[in-house]
Structure 1
Amino acid sequence: MNLKALIGFIRVFVGILFIISGFIKLNDPVGFSFKLQEYFGPDVLNLEFLSPFALGLAIILVIVELVLGVALIIGYYKRLTLWLLLLMILFFTFLTFYSAYFNKVTDCGCFGDALPLTPWQSFTKDVILLILIVFLFINIKYIQPFFTNFGRSIIIFATFIACLSFGYYVLMHLPLIDFRAYKVGTNIAEGMEIPDGAPVDVFDYNWKFKVNGEEKVFTTQGDYPTVEGEFIGVDTELVTKGYVPPVHDFTIEKDGEDYAEEFLNTPNLIVIVAYDLSKTEWNGWPAVKSLTNDAIRRGYQVIGLTASGVDDVNSLKLKQEINFDFYFTDATTLKTIVRSNPGILKLNNGTIIQKKHWNDAEEIELEKLPTAKLDLDFNLKFQLDSITRLDNLYRPLIQESDPAKRKALADELGIPEEDYTGDLWKKQRMLDTTNLQRIKRLIERYGYPGKSLVGEPTNLVALEVIAHNPGEVEEYLDVLKKAAEKGEIPMTQVAILEDKHLMMQDKEQIYGTQAQITAENGFFIWPVTNPETLNERRKAAGFKRTIEEYVADLMGKDAQFKALKLSEIKRL
């Protein structure tokens, strides 16, 4: 191959590589902007002032990269093109070397999620490209343009317009090609599985000992070394990276519990993803609200996933009148799932059926399910959901006696300092009284607001407010029982409330749900009326366990149910 042919081959090879790299990133400019933000972070280049401009810079860089690839192939202003290519590759070579040497960014994002490269692989690739571009520069006279000057200008202009149009399209919708682990058709639970026999992480354990007054290091694969000396410490070093499943670090948390398994086994689930509510596109939430209200009416379960705190969640729900609950998921995971804030997923038992930008909310396909509740009143539901927050505003703080932990809990709940100090019981009782008045007015207008009217779990709000006002329980017991008979609320919840009410009046309970501790009797089940038929009443009310099973779970497997009489009880 003569020099001219070699130059022609290298020119086309480098040009195509830039076009492919640019197109993959232009297909997902939001993802590339996240990568730039990593580089701009304080632990890498410490250029945080550039982070707000990351998306704009990402779009400019990838369009320039792609256009330069086309310009190199067709020979458009070849000297200017080569200078720009040289400057660009020098910039990227510096970034990849910095990432590799200091181990700052584990994936440069050169080819997006289509072809993840390690930092050293990225650096090697850039060095090769740098050599090839310098070689082209030296032999620039052998680069012969294609087409006429006017034709080349038209091609470059058309490429630029096409890039702008494509970039705008994917920003307003989602990437045309999804290279990530959460693409449509993926089962999230299966994506988290580790195959049998998959390689695991291998570590070197560097044990430090002082032997004869000298510090020495002994390296093993984990075993404690047999050394006669004084142990100082041990450091671990990753030698070989094990298998990493496509989907990892996926959790759905709330109040310290992980609900991932539950929701990944839920059919007909709509998930709203908003990784950061402070950066969310507020004009997208009316479309989300319309979709989710329709989904709830048609029988779908709807949840939100965010990395934002409770205060941001409550603010959003209040301002946008959102009718579903949010759970916590890592921000990086949410950014990976969908490149929209908010974004929408339709899942069925953990399999992603549809994934849409909020602009395309109307494209989510919703069927009328057997669990459909077409008569749901979302205005009423929103009123009740707003009462829930006030109903439980201070109760978690009241239960926490440690001042530091109370402050941390208040911060987590988004409660300012003036609201978590002082007489919290008095503050909560004032809220309980106000909430009860609101519930009374709603019951007078609608009757008991059950699940056919407001769905679940909002159907329990009125019951919980009444329960927190013990003096009003007797007045509403008949209302609650009738609602339970109609299936609007669980009969078990009404039974528990009735038992507690009877116990507080020193009367026999009906279903055996309440236990007490006294000096004479210890821990025991409060006296029950007609104990010989207790299990029949429990079963009729919907309790799954007999009184004997309940006692064993509550007091220990060897505990026995003892039917006491009121006359035998002496309270503390």
Structure 2
Amino acid sequence: MKYLVSISRIFVGVLFIISGLIKLNDPLGFSYKLQEYFSVEVLNMPFLEPYALMISVLVVVFEVVLGVFLLIGYKPKFTVWSLLIMIVFFTFLTFYSAYFDKVKDCGCFGDALKLTPWESFTKDLVLLVFILVLFFGVKHIKPVFSTLITTVFALLSFVFSFWLAYHVLMHLPVVDFRAYKIGKNIAEGMRIPEDAAKPVVEYYWKFNINGEETVITTDGSYPTVEGDFLSVDTKMIKEGYQPPVVDFSIEFVDEDLTQQFLSEENLIVIVSYSLKSMEKAGAQKLKAFSDEAIKKGYKVIGLTSSGEDEKQRIKKLYKLNFEFYLCDEKALKTVVRANPGILELDKGTVKQKVHWNDIDKLKL
């Protein structure tokens, strides 16, 4: 039991720290995932959506801290009970998500590693087994250092975790795992290779045959059967190839200008997924910056999911002399973790990307 506890202690502790740090690198992204869980379509807890960011920070900080506590042997009973409660909750969540096909990616490892709902559930079951070993062998978890040093390490894990969360929220993630990171070409990220895997879908055709309801399964073709057609249902058996960039477009009225702007040189893109919730301090910096960029020969555009009335209100309020174009809200939240955020594109390639707090660091 002593050896099993030691192995479990290292495995669980390291995994919790890695998983927590990846999410702590991008707590805003994890908060978007929590909002998806809280939505009416999933857990039906929309009253928690406004608090998603706060919950996100607290959960991932706690995840990192518990991993550190376990490795250094700080307060073993509290640590193991906390780990057990957390993993039981996450196991339920991933099972619910997988069984009812509600959320396609649990966000366990942020954008660094995508897991299907069933893969996430399997991962949590494995973790649950290791944590149960720790639970029943908690007496074998001893502090690695003296009481003073152990306490200092525990405190430092709290301080570092909260500092990192604050830092990336005020700037941008330290490591960008998304398809819009500096150096990536957006147009190339949208392409689907000719030999890409196709989705596998089963069709369930319901017919009335001689007074009885009969279901016939095919891969999509209409079955040859003598009877009255009643309905058809489909089920995704295997996902096909998904390009890194999805739902990204630049539209104006009914015109798609995506390829036009992704062919532009020296393009500045100011991203605000919602102009209504755009941070005022950031909006106030856009006038001077955009004027300077235009003066130096850049084409400046805005991207938002907001409607025309909100676009005109913001342009008038802050005296902006560039046009806002329409893009999907979820795509814009993925492009940059800031509202507003600023990118420099050159023929679709991301050259620079900054949070509005760092707008002065974008070199024109």
TM-score, structure 2 as length reference: 0.97
Aligned position for 2:233: 235
SS in 1 for 2:343: strand
Measure, in 2, the Cα distance between the counterparts of 1:203 and 1:51: 33
**1:218 aligned to 216, 229, 242, which one?**
216
* Residue aligning to 1:183: 181
The DSSP-based 3-state class of the residue aligned with 1:234 is strand
Task: Quote the Cα distance in structure 1 between the aligned partners of 2:21 and 2:33.
Answer: 16
Partner of 1:254: 252
Query: Does the aligned pair in 1 maintain the 2:274–2:305 contact within 8 Å?
Result: yes
Question: Deviation of residue 119 (structure 1)?
Answer: 1.1
Whether 1:75 aligns to 2:67 is: no
User: How big is the shift at 1:63?
Assistant: 0.7
In structure 1, C-alpha distance between the alignment counterparts of 2:54 and 2:233, rounded to whole Å: 42
Aligned to 2:84: 86
Q: Are positions 1:204 and 2:222 aligned together?
A: no
Contiguous gaps of at least 5 residues in structure 1: 367-572
Q: Which residue of 2 aligns with 1:165?
A: 163
Aligned counterparts of 1:218 and 1:165: Cα–Cα separation in 2: 58
- Partner of residue 124 from structure 1, selected from 115, 122, 125: 122
Secondary structure in 1 matching 2:78: helix
Alignment map for 1:289-328 (pairs within 5 Å): 289-328=287-326
2:262/2:348 contact within 8 Å kept: yes
1:242: how far off? 0.8
1:363 aligns with 2:357: no
CA distance in structure 1 between the partners assigned to 2:129 and 2:258 by the alignment = 49
Uncovered stretches (5+) of structure 2, i.e. residues with no partner:
none
Alignment partners' CA distance in 1, 2:85 and 2:17:
17
CA deviation vs aligned residue, 1:61-89 (integer Å, no higher than 9, x gap): 11111011000000001111111111111
Give 3-state SS (helix, strand or coil) of 1:208's partner.
strand
Structure 1 distance, partners of 2:42, 2:267, is 39
Select 1:151's aligned residue among 136, 149, 155: 149
Q: For residues 146-174 of structure 1, give each alpha carbon's deviation from its aligned partner in whole angstroms, at most 9, with x where no partner exists.
A: 10111011001111111111111101100
Contact 2:302 2:322 in 1 (8 A): yes
Contact 2:271 2:303 in 1 (8 A): yes
Displacement of 1:337 in angstroms is: 0.5
Alpha-carbon distance in structure 1 between the residues aligned to 2:51 and 2:232: 43
Structure 2 residue matching 1:245: 3-state secondary structure: coil
Kindly indicate whether the alpha-carbon contact (under 8 Å) linking 2:340 and 2:355 is maintained by their aligned counterparts in 1.
Answer: yes
Match of 2:132 among 127, 131, 134: 134
Identity within the alignment, %: 55
Instruction: Tell me the amino acid that sits aligned with residue 261 of structure 2.
Output: F
Equivalent of 1:342 in 337, 340, 343: 340
- Residue 326 (structure 1) shift: 0.5
- Output the CA distance in 2 between the equivalents of 1:218 and 1:101: 23
Aligned-partner residue type, residue 291 of structure 1: F
Q: Over residues 537-567 of structure 1, what are the superposed CA-to-partner deviations in whole Å (9 max), with x where a residue is unaligned?
A: xxxxxxxxxxxxxxxxxxxxxxxxxxxxxxx
C-alpha displacement of 1:213: 2.0
Q: CA-to-partner distance for each residue in 1:443-497, whole Å, 9 max, x for gaps?
A: xxxxxxxxxxxxxxxxxxxxxxxxxxxxxxxxxxxxxxxxxxxxxxxxxxxxxxx
Output the amino acid matched with 1:37: Q
1:478 maps to which residue?
none
Q: Deviations over 1:191-213 (max 9, x none)?
A: 11111211111222222222222
265, 272, 275: which one aligns with 1:274: 272
Give the whole-Å Cα distance in 1 for the aligned partners of 2:307 and 2:52. Answer: 24
> Residues 208-263 of structure 1, C-alpha deviation per residue, up to 9 Å, x if partnerless?
22222222222222222221222333332222211111111111111111110100
Match of 2:242 in 1: 244
Q: What does the per-residue CA deviation read over 1:102-143, in whole Å, with 9 as the maximum and x for residues that have no partner?
A: 111111111101111111111111121112111111011111
Alpha-carbon distance between aligned partners in 2 of 1:158 and 1:250, rounded to the nearest angstrom: 41
The whole-number CA distance in structure 2 between the counterparts of 1:228 and 1:337 is: 52
Matched residue of 2:160: which SS? Answer: helix
What SS does the corresponding residue of 2:80 show, helix, strand or coil? helix
Structure 1 residue ranges, 4+ long, deviating more than 3 angstroms after superposition: none
In the alignment, is the contact (CA less than 8 A) between 2:4 and 2:133 conserved in 1?
no
1:144 deviates by: 1.8
Residue 9 (structure 2) aligns with? 11
Q: Which has the larger radius of gyration?
A: 1
Which stretch of structure 1 is more off in the superposition, 88-97 or 228-237? 228-237
Give the residue type in structure 2 aligned to 1:296: I
CA contact (8 A) 2:208 2:227 kept: yes
1:247 partner SS: coil
Per the alignment, in what secondary structure is the counterpart of residue 207 of structure 1? strand
Partner AA of 1:39 in structure 2:
Y
Query: How many pairs were matched up?
Result: 364
Question: What one-letter code is carried by the residue in structure 1 that aligns with 2:135?
Answer: F
The 1-side partners of 2:145 and 2:296 are apart by 59
Higher relative contact order (CA 8 A, sep 6+): 2
SS at match of 2:285: helix
The amino acid that maps onto 1:31 is G
Structure 2 partner of 1:52: 50
| Shift in alpha-carbon separation, 1:284–1:85, aligned structure 2, 3 A | same
Give the secondary-structure state (helix, strand or coil) at the position aligned to 2:245. coil
Q: Which has the higher strand share?
A: 2
Shift of 1:19: 0.2
User: What TM-score do you get using the length of structure 1 for normalisation?
Assistant: 0.62
Which sits farther off after the overlay, 14-23 or 228-237?
228-237
**CA deviation string 1:303-329 (max 9, x = no partner):** 110011111111111111111101111
AA aligned to 1:38 is E
Name the aligned partner's letter for residue 177 of structure 1.
V
Deviation at 1:40, TM superposition (A): 1.1
How many Å separate the matches in 2 of 1:299 and 1:25? 38
Q: What corresponds to 2:93 in structure 1?
A: 95
Provide Cα deviations, 1:387-416, integer angstroms capped at 9, x if missing partner: xxxxxxxxxxxxxxxxxxxxxxxxxxxxxx
Shift of 1:288: 2.1
